[in-house]
Chains A and B, each alone.
Chain A
Amino acid sequence: MKVSGGFAMDYDFISFKGTQDGIYIHIKEGDFNHIKEELDMKLSKFGSFFKGGQIVAFKGMKLSEYEESQLRNIVNDKYKLKVLEEENIQEDNIKETKESGYFQGIEEGMTSFIRTTVRSGQIIQYEGNIVVLGDVNPGGIIEAKGNIVVLGTLRGVAHAGCDGNRNAIVSAYDLKPTQLRIADLIARSPDGEVIKSSRWPEVAKIEGDEVVIETYLPKNNL
């Protein structure tokens, strides 16, 4: 590497963290080229130290597939360090999605847990299922490619299977949404009716060409 030590040391994106499982490479948010440069430099300096060890994963900054593969190449090919091929649910789901045109992981797939109340003007979008541990207030929007489960009151708008999966469901402990959307269907509550809180959780799904809402009772499981 041609960069002088002083200059290169100015970057401080990369740190190595040893754990029981192996070594994590922790990356701070920053310019990807600088990150690559620094990783290369640090491994050329300390690489021998990690010999025989196993790099488990990259952590910190979100990497695109391409970026991650570039970093893997440096670690793997240039410094001959093993990188664990992680069993990646995300990749599986994405592969399935590519084959069918929409997200498939509604039985088993990646899920995002939101531990807060979603308020008016907030929009939560995720490539998989969404579980909200809180309420969704009017004006709040939940958009999931998979199922939506709200462990509170759903008063806002929920869109399940938003890239086309008609088998997706929306369920909530107290289901009184402004609007319900599943795949390409939109439903709203009838005018002039005040929705009473049902004493039971409810589940909305598509039956035929309509969104129907059913009380969730343990016996009529999904």
Chain B
Amino acid sequence: MGKVLVITSGKGGVGKTTTTANIGTGLAMLGKKVVVADADIGLRNLDVVMGLENRIVYDIVDVVEKTCRLKQGLIRDKRYEGLYLLPAAQTKDKNAIKPEQMLELCNELKEEFDYVLIDSPAGIEQGFQNSIVGADEAIIVTTPEISAVRDADRVIGLLEARGLHNPKLIVNRLRPEMVKKGDMMNIEDMIDILAIELLGVVPDDESIVISTNRGEPVVTDEAALSGKAFRNISKRILGEEVELMNLEIEDGKLTKIFKILFGK
């Protein structure tokens, strides 16, 4: 029996879909059987980020309405054996699925897969409610911005009200040099406010933009720092203890000497 993880944020544009695609792929790279489901009906994106858009024939609405069998709705990833995508419908809206149907679907998927990742839509309306109804655990994605943290806090409250306790936090798009200068919220500030366990920190990275546009999750990119961050997050989900990586950019030689001399 697998686990259903919902990836949510409240605020839009913080990287839920990118995170879902990367964790899904990351877990599959570690040999797990994974399905990533797009619950953002009407504004689907996950298929594009995974590079599987041109394979869609049936979607999540067809599956819950039983227009097709579950097996027909699942799209097998082109890179990893155990990875599947259940795409959202683009021509319908959030109300096309009822919470009961979603719950049934999650339970069905759980039988087949080790991990079921649900990419939640932004907001806290019907689509969000649907995405959390079958979840066992939640992952909150936020960026180091006050507005995103505020929304994350609201969502954590809503999750707790639904009995989803102890969500995990991913801080996305962190820019270490800005944090250093005091221009960006740092991790401690955010943990202070949200008071939940940190699952990982993903640095702001150009490779994410490149890989997203190519439809290849950055987690497969050995060279990218953000890819490593997602590989670490995937390992932590499996229960491995992985230290938070050092996001600081290598200092120049002069600065190093300066640091040694003055201890700072």
Asked whether A and B interact, the reply is yes
Using CB atoms, name the residue of chain A closest to B42: A121
The answer for the CA separation of A179 and B75 in the assembled complex, in Å, is 14
Task: Check if A130 is an interface residue, CB within 8 A of chain B.
Answer: no
* Complex: A198 Cα to B151 Cα, angstroms: 46
| B54 partner residues in chain A, CB cutoff 8 A | 178-179, 188-189
Distance of A57 Cα from B51 Cα, bound (Å): 51
Contact with A along B113-140 (1 / 0, CB 8 A): 0000000000000000000000000000
Cβ–Cβ < 8 Å partners of A75 in chain B: none
Q: A150 — which chain B residues lie within 8 A by C-beta?
A: none
The closest CB in chain A to the CB of B214 belongs to A192
Interface status of B55 (Cβ within 8 A of chain A): yes
By a CB distance below 8 angstroms, the chain A residues around B57 are 179, 186
Q: Tell me if B103 is interfacial: C-beta within 8 Å of chain A.
A: no
How many residues on the A side are at the interface (Cβ–Cβ under 8 A)?
13
Residues of B within 8 A of A121 (CB): 42-43, 90-91
Tell yes or no: A123 within 8 A of B by CB.
Answer: yes
Chain B residues lying within 8 Å of A186, measured Cβ to Cβ, are 57
Q: Say how far A158's CB is from chain B's closest CB, in angstroms.
A: 12
B242 to A: closest C-beta gap in Å: 32
Once A121-B42, A186-B57 are accepted as A-B contacts, the answer to whether A191 and B91 lie under 8 Å apart by CB is no
User: What's the Cα separation between A178 and B54 when bound, in Å?
Assistant: 5
B5-44 Cβ-contact flags toward A at 8 Å (1 or 0) = 0000000000000000000000000000000000000111
User: Which A169-210 residues have a C-beta within 8 angstroms of B?
Assistant: 178-179, 186, 188-189, 191
**What's the minimum C-beta distance from B54 to chain A, rounded to whole angstroms?**
4
Which residues of the partner chain A approach B43 to less than 8 Å between Cβ atoms? 121
Tell me whether B91 and A123 are in contact (CB under 8 A). yes
Number of interface residues of B (CB under 8 A): 13
Taking the complex as formed, is B198 at the interface, i.e. its CB lies under 8 A from any CB of chain A?
Answer: no
B221 in contact (CB, < 8 A):
no
With a CB–CB cut-off of 8 A, which chain B residues contact A138? 48, 53
How far apart sit A123 and B93, CA to CA, in the bound complex (Å)? 13
Interface SS of chain B: helix, strand, loop or mixed? loop
Q: Is the CB of B51 within 8 A of A191?
A: yes
B 50-72 contacts with A by CB, 8 A = 51, 53-57
Interface residues of A in 98-121 (CB under 8 A from B): 120-121
Given contacts A178-B53, A178-B54, A179-B54, are A191 and B90 in contact (CB under 8 A)?
A: no
Q: Smallest CB–CB gap between A6 and chain B, Å?
A: 43
The complex places the Cα of A139 from the Cα of B41 at a distance, in Å, of 12
Chain B's closest residue to A188 (CB) is: B54
Chain B residues with Cβ below 8 Å from A120 are 90
Q: How far is the CB of B237 from chain A (nearest CB, A)?
A: 28
> A141: which B residues are within 8 A, CB to CB?
91
Indicate if A69 sits at the interface (CB-CB under 8 A).
Answer: no
Question: What per-residue 1/0 map shows which CB atoms of A126-146 lie under 8 Å from chain B?
Answer: 000000000000110100000
Q: Is the CB of B90 within 8 A of A139?
A: yes
**Chain A residue with Cβ nearest B54:** A188
Decide if B162 is an interface residue (CB 8 Å cutoff): no
Smallest Cβ distance from B188 to chain A, in angstroms? 41
| A122 interface residue (CB < 8 Å to B) | yes
Q: Is there a chain A Cβ closer than 8 Å to B259's Cβ?
A: no
Residues of B within 8 A of A188 (CB): 54-55
Q: Please report the C-alpha to C-alpha distance between residue A120 and residue B91 in the assembled complex, in whole angstroms.
A: 8
User: Does residue B98 face the partner (Cβ distance < 8 Å to A)?
Assistant: no
Q: Does B165 contact A (CB under 8 A)?
A: no
Chain A residues whose CB sits within 8 angstroms of the CB of B90 once the complex forms: 120-121, 139
The closest CB in chain A to the CB of B55 belongs to A188
Chain A residues with CB under 8 Å of B56's CB are 178-179
A179 contacts across to B, CB distance below 8 A = 54-57
In the assembly, what is the distance between CA of A141 and CA of B43, in Å? 14
Tell me whether B78 is interfacial, beta carbon within 8 Å: yes
How far does the Cβ of B72 sit from chain A's closest Cβ, in whole Å? 12
The B-contacting residues of A in range 69-105, CB under 8 angstroms, are none
- Which 4 interchain pairs have the tightest Cβ spacing? A188-B54, A123-B91, A121-B90, A139-B90
Q: Provide 25 A-B residue pairs closer than 8 Å at the C-beta atoms, listed in order of the A residue.
A: A120-B90, A121-B42, A121-B43, A121-B90, A121-B91, A122-B91, A123-B91, A138-B48, A138-B53, A139-B44, A139-B90, A141-B91, A178-B53, A178-B54, A178-B56, A179-B54, A179-B55, A179-B56, A179-B57, A186-B57, A188-B54, A188-B55, A189-B54, A191-B51, A191-B78
Query: What 5 new A-B contacts, CB under 8 Å, besides A138-B53, A191-B78?
Result: A122-B91, A138-B48, A139-B90, A179-B56, A179-B57
